Amino acid sequence: MLSSSRIQGWILDLYPKDGRMVVWIKSRDGTVNRLVDEWTPAFHVAGKKSDLVDLARQVNTEELSFEEKYLSIEDSERSQALRIPASSHQALERARRINLSSRKFQLFNVGIPAEQIYLYEKDIFPLAYVEAELNHGSIKWQVPR
């Protein structure tokens, strides 16, 4: 990890490893830097609030949270969804069981690769010229204008 608190460059590659996202950045001077962001992919489950609360009790994972999300491209307002970390194969199997066990839930991000979810969540894209602000294991991304 770099000792500098900020770095600029192009995103060359990224991949998940041990509950983190590893991102390779190439600076204007040709230096290639490996950055590590504390991040775990997640999938979202939508449904009635009472059903989501029951599901949260069944899943029983500490890292669950409720988030406001646009669930459809036609939505004008955000809806509440349950965020379930998908840090392992077991979490994805859990998602499949949720989907098969009940038609009262909608699942989101289950089949999307972790790298792609990361890029969406951080509002960045492959080969983007970015500024990364490093702060104790997490990265704040910005695309300079």
Choice between 22 and 2, residue whose per-residue pLDDT is larger: 22
Query: Do residue 52 and residue 67 come from a single domain?
Result: yes
Domain of residue 80: give its range.
Answer: 42-108
Element (H, E) at 131: strand 129-135
pLDDT score for 1: 47
Is the same domain home to 56 and 13? no
Quick one: DSSP state of residue 4? S
pLDDT of residue 28: 96
Question: 28 with 47, same domain?
Answer: no
- Cα–Cα distance for residue pair 86/89, rounded to 1 Å: 7
How would residue 96 be classed by pLDDT, with cut points 50, 70 and 90?
low
Higher pLDDT residue, 83 or 111? Answer: 83
Cα separation, 31 vs 107, in Å, equals 41
Mean pLDDT of the chain: 86
Mean pLDDT of 31-60: 88
Same structural domain, 30 and 57: no
Q: Clarify whether residues 101 and 47 are in a common domain.
A: yes
Nearest to 26, CA basis, from 8, 42, 38: 8
- Any idea what the CATH number is for the domain that residue 91 is in? 3.30.70
